Amino acid sequence: EVQLQASGGGLVQPGGSLRLACAAPGLSLERYTVTWFRQSPGNEREGVSSINTNHDTYYADSVKGRFTISRDDTKNTAYLSMNNLKPEDTAVYYCARLRYGANWSNLFEMGKYDSWGQGTQVTVSS
């Protein structure tokens, strides 16, 4: 089922920045909402941020003001720019494509997504 490719993770100090990318070789993202999720050890996967085809965005409260989601449909790629990273941001980050026609209610409900990336590890530590 893995059809998206997430990249850009790494080790960064608190207060640092990273930019994640979500590519979709063989798939189209242009007509779809893309969402970033994350999962840390012992915790459930949680939604982080979404962007629709009109570039409307939505953020979890925990990342508002620090993370920015964007997309470049000419490259069939979505991005998550993360600033002022905190140790609690440490997780595996996944991107996913919202099922076509699905609405934005309960946006972070994982069953609404039909394609997922393999995840990229983000570690925030001094």
Mind listing the pLDDT tens digit for each residue in 19-35? 999 999 888 899 999 99
Per DSSP, the three-state class of 66 is: coil
- How long, in residues, is the chain? 126
Residue bearing the bigger pLDDT, 88 or 101? 88
Q: Check pLDDT > 80 for residue 18.
A: yes
Are 14 and 85 within 8 A, CB to CB? yes
Q: Bridge-partner residues for 93, per DSSP?
A: 38, 120
In whole angstroms, give the CA distance from residue 124 to residue 126: 7
